[in-house]
Structure 1
Amino acid sequence: MSNYRFQTADHIIAGRHSVANIGEHLALVGLPIQKALIVTQPALVQTGAVASLEAALKDRGIAVDQTTNVEPEPTLENIEQVFADTVGAQDYDVLIGLGGGSILDTTKLLSVLKTNNKGLEAMLGTDLVEHAGVPTILIPTTSGTGAEVTPNAIVTLPEKELKIGVVSRHLLPSLVILDPVLTTGLPKPITAATGMDAFTHALESYISTKANPISDMFALEAIRLISANIVQAYQQGDDLDAREKMLVGAMYGGMALTAAGTAAVHAMAYPLGGKYKIAHGVANSMLLPHVTQFNLDAIQERLASVAGPMGIDVAGLSDGDAAQAVVDKIKELTKTLEIPQDLAEYGVDKDSIEEMAVAALDVKRLMDNNPKTVTKNDAIAIYSKLLV
C-alpha cells in the first residue's frame, strides 16, 4: 500500500435544529463576520429555510445578501456569472451554501474565484487553485453528494458535453452544519437519487484502487447507514431518525471518496450529465448495478465483505455468491426507489453511445481508480444495458 492521506472540513456541527443555533457556531470560522452571502435555491426561499437562516445571522448583527441564480448542474459560465453579480463586486466575510450538491460546489468555487487571480477554467483539474478562498459554511439540504466535506467541485462544460472537477484543499469549508430537519421536505425522486449517489460514493471508494484503512472505515459505515435507512426515508419522508442517519451516511460517503476517490460509475456518469442533463445522482444510480456487475470478478472478496453492512445474510455462501448477492441487492434497491432504468427517456440512442464511451474513458482521474480496466467496448456494453 502506498502512502495515503485524509483531510476534510475544519469543523462539523450535526444534529436536529442545529441551523437555528448558527450564531453560536460562527466563532468556529475564526474571523469576525460582519457581512455574509447566502448561496441557495428558490425552493428553499419558498420553504422559509432561507428566511430563518437570515434571521439567525441578523440577530448577530451580520448583514446578509442572497443569490438564487445557481442553475441545477451549473455550467462554468453560470458560476462565473453568479460570481460577477455577487462576490466579485462585494467583500463578504463568509459565504454560506444552503442547498444540494450544486449549491455547495458553487459556493466553494465562488470562494476561490474571489482570492485567485484566474478564471474558473484555469482551475479545472487537481491542485490548480493557488490561494485559500473566502471562508465558507456549507449546509446540505439533501443526503447525497457529501460535497460539504470534500475538496471537490463539479463544473458542467456544455461545449465538451462533459463534467469536470476542480480538486483542491482550498475548497474545504471552515464549518459544516448537518441539520436533518432541512431534508424532511425532499421529494421522493430526489431522496432516492441523492441517497443512491451517496451509496455509490461509499461503494466505489471501498473498491477503488486507492482504498485504504481511512476510506474503508468511512465507506463501510456509510454503506451500513444508507442501506438501513434509504427506503424508510424514501417512503416516509418525515421520519427524522431515517433522515438524520441518511445525512450522516452521505457525509461519511463524502469522506470516503475524499480519501480514496470514486471510479468508473462516476466517470461514465459525467457524459450523461454533460450532454443529456441527467442529474448526477440519477446517472450514478442508473449505472451502479451494471458497473458493479462488470467489476465483479475483480472485487469478489471486497464486495462480499459489503454484504454484512448492507444487511444481507450470506451465511454459507462463497465470496463469489456473496458478491453477487450484493449486486442483486443494489438492483433491488434501484427498483424499490424507482430509479429510471432507460436512457432513451433522456434522448440517448444507440448512435450516441460510442461517443459517450470515449468521453467516459477520458475521465482518467476516476477511471484509473477502477479495479478493472474498462475498454471502449466495455463502456459501450454497459451503456447499452440502459437502453431498454
Structure 2
Amino acid sequence: MNTHYQFQTADKLIAGIGVFTELVSHLQKAVPSVERVLIVTQPFVKKLDFYQVMTSSLEKAGLSYEVVTDVEPEPTEANIENIKERVRDSSYDVLIGLGGGSVLDSTKLLSVLLSNTCTIQDILGTDLVKEPGIPTVLIPTTSGTGSEVTPNAIVTFPDKELKIGIVSRHLLPVLVVLDPLLTVSLPKPITAATGMDAFTHSLESFISNKANRFSDMFALESIRLIADGIQTAYHDGSNVEAREKMLIGSTYGGMALTAAGTAAVHAMAYPLGGKFKVTHGVANSMLLPHVMAYNMDAIVDRLAQVADPMGIQLNQGATSQQKAKAVVQKIKEWTAEFSIPQDLTEFGVREDDLEDLAIAAVQVKRLMDNNPKEMTVNDAIQIYKKLLA
C-alpha cells in the first residue's frame, strides 16, 4: 500500500431523495455571479420530468440558458470539438451536465476547451490542462461512471480504435447533485451495465498498486452499497432505496478511482470500445471476473477482504483463497443474472482480432501500471479468448 497519497474531488456535493429541486439555490451559492447557463445533455433527457423541473427553476431565478443535446454515447474527439465550435462565441458562467458518464465527461471537457486555447489532442494524458475551466455542475442520471467526482474524462478516437483518458484537477466540478429519483427510469440493461461499471471501479481501486487508506475507505463502502442494492435496482427499478445505494455507491467508486486508479480491466475495455463499440460498462463487466482470476495469486488477501462487504457468507474457517474465489464466482453469477453478454463474437470480435486488442490494451500504461500483476500481450490474448464462444 502506498505510504504517500492524496485525494481531491468536487468542491461540493449535495445528495438525497428529491434534492434536485434545490439545484438553483446551491448553484447560485457555488457561482454567485451566474447569469448564463449552458445545459449539456442528450435528447431523451429533455423529455423527462426532471428536465422540465430544472429549466423551470432556472427561469424563475431569472437565469438564461441554452441547451446542447448532441453528445454521442461514448463521445468522440470530433463530437466534442464540434460542440465546442458551435458554442465558443457565447459567454457562459456555468455548464450543467445532466446525464450519464458520456454527458458528464463531455461537460468537463467543454469547460476547459472553452476557457483554454487548446484542442483535445493538446490535453491527452495527465495534468496538461493549463487553466481552470468554466465552472461545472454535474448531475448524474445513471449509477455507474462516478465521473461527477473524478478528474478524468474519456474520449473515443475511431481512427485509433481506442479510448484515451484526460486527467486534470481542472475537470473537477464546483457542485455535484446526487438524487436517486433521477435514476428510477433507467432500463434494466443500463442499470446492469452501469452498476457493474461502478463495482469495477471500486474493486480495481481496491486491488490497485496505488491503493491507499483513502481509496480503501471509499472502495469498500462502495462495494458494500452496490452489492446491497444492485439486484433490487435491476429487478425493481422503482425501488428508491436501492437506487440511492447504487447512486452513492457509484460516487464512492469514482472517489476510489480518483485516489487509486483502475487497472487492467479498464485497459482491456478501452480497445473493445474503440474498435468494436462495446459500451464501457458492458466491456468492464465481461472482463472483470476473468481479469480478477488472472490476478488471483497476487491479490488473494485483498480479494478475500471484499467477500464480507459483498455479503458472501462462508464457513467460519474459510481460507483467504476460498473467500477470494467466492468473490470471483459471485461476480460471474451477477453477470449471468443481469444478462451481461459473455460472448465477444456478438460484437463482431473474431480470434484474429485478439492480438491487436491485446497490443492496444497493454499500451495503456496509465492503467496497466496499476495492475498488481504484470500482463503481457499473450496474457491479454488469453483473457480475451475466454470471451469468445
TM-score (norm 2): 0.98
Alignment match, 2:174: 174
Give the C-alpha shift of residue 19 in structure 1: 1.2
| Residues 1:69 and 2:70 aligned together | yes
| Residues 1:191 and 2:191 aligned together | yes
Q: Distance in 2 between matches of 1:354 and 1:19?
A: 47
Q: Distance in 2 between matches of 1:61 and 1:213?
A: 45
Alignment of 1:345-384 (within 5 A): 345-384=346-385
Q: Distance in 2 between matches of 1:292 and 1:30?
A: 43
Alignment match, 1:209: 209
Preserved contact between residue 126 and residue 166 of structure 2 (Cα < 8 Å): yes
Q: Distance in 2 between matches of 1:111 and 1:335?
A: 39
| Residues 1:24 and 2:30 aligned together | no
Give the C-alpha shift of residue 178 in structure 1: 0.3
Preserved contact between residue 101 and residue 140 of structure 1 (Cα < 8 Å): yes
| Residues 1:153 and 2:184 aligned together | no
Q: Write the letter of the residue equivalent to 2:211.
A: A
Q: Distance in 1 between matches of 2:358 and 2:50?
A: 41
Q: Write the letter of the residue equivalent to 2:359.
A: V
Preserved contact between residue 202 and residue 257 of structure 2 (Cα < 8 Å): yes
| Residues 1:238 and 2:238 aligned together | yes
| Residues 1:340 and 2:315 aligned together | no
Preserved contact between residue 192 and residue 234 of structure 1 (Cα < 8 Å): yes
Greater displacement, 188-197 / 330-339: 330-339
Alignment of 1:1-388 (within 5 A): 1-86=2-87, 88-314=88-314, 315-388=316-389
Q: Deviations over 1:62-90 (max 9, x none)?
A: 0011010111000001000011112x121
Q: Write the letter of the residue equivalent to 2:146.
A: G
Q: Distance in 2 between matches of 1:111 and 1:194?
A: 24
Greater displacement, 23-32 / 199-208: 23-32
Q: Distance in 1 between matches of 2:275 and 2:323?
A: 36
Q: Distance in 2 between matches of 1:2 and 1:363?
A: 25
Preserved contact between residue 29 and residue 175 of structure 1 (Cα < 8 Å): yes
Q: Write the letter of the residue equivalent to 2:292.
A: T
Q: Distance in 1 between matches of 2:256 and 2:48?
A: 32
Preserved contact between residue 28 and residue 175 of structure 1 (Cα < 8 Å): no
Q: Distance in 2 between matches of 1:28 and 1:213?
A: 32
Where 1:89 maps in the other structure, the secondary structure is coil
Q: Distance in 2 between matches of 1:363 and 1:125?
A: 11
Q: Write the letter of the residue equivalent to 2:313.
A: D
RMSD: 0.7
Q: Distance in 2 between matches of 1:246 and 1:256?
A: 15
Identical columns (%): 61
Q: Deviations over 1:18-61 (max 9, x none)?
A: 11111221133143110101100111112233222111111111
Q: Distance in 1 between matches of 2:172 and 2:291?
A: 30
Q: Deviations over 1:281-327 (max 9, x none)?
A: 01000000100010011100000000000001132111111100110
Give the C-alpha shift of residue 351 in structure 1: 0.4
Preserved contact between residue 28 and residue 174 of structure 1 (Cα < 8 Å): no
Q: Write the letter of the residue equivalent to 2:65.
A: V
TM-score (norm 1): 0.99
Q: Deviations over 1:131-166 (max 9, x none)?
A: 000000000000000000000000001111000001
Q: Distance in 1 between matches of 2:375 and 2:29?
A: 44
Runs of 4+ in 1 over 3 A off after TM superposition: none
Q: Distance in 2 between matches of 1:31 and 1:349?
A: 55
Q: Which runs of 5+ in 1 are unaligned?
A: none
Q: Write the letter of the residue equivalent to 2:144.
A: G
Q: Distance in 2 between matches of 1:164 and 1:2?
A: 28
Where 2:6 maps in the other structure, the secondary structure is coil
Q: Deviations over 1:324-358 (max 9, x none)?
A: 01100110111111111000000000000000000
Q: Which runs of 5+ in 2 are unaligned?
A: none
Q: Write the letter of the residue equivalent to 1:247.
A: L
Q: Write the letter of the residue equivalent to 1:214.
A: F
Q: Distance in 2 between matches of 1:294 and 1:7?
A: 31
Q: Write the letter of the residue equivalent to 2:369.
A: D
Q: Distance in 2 between matches of 1:150 and 1:304?
A: 27
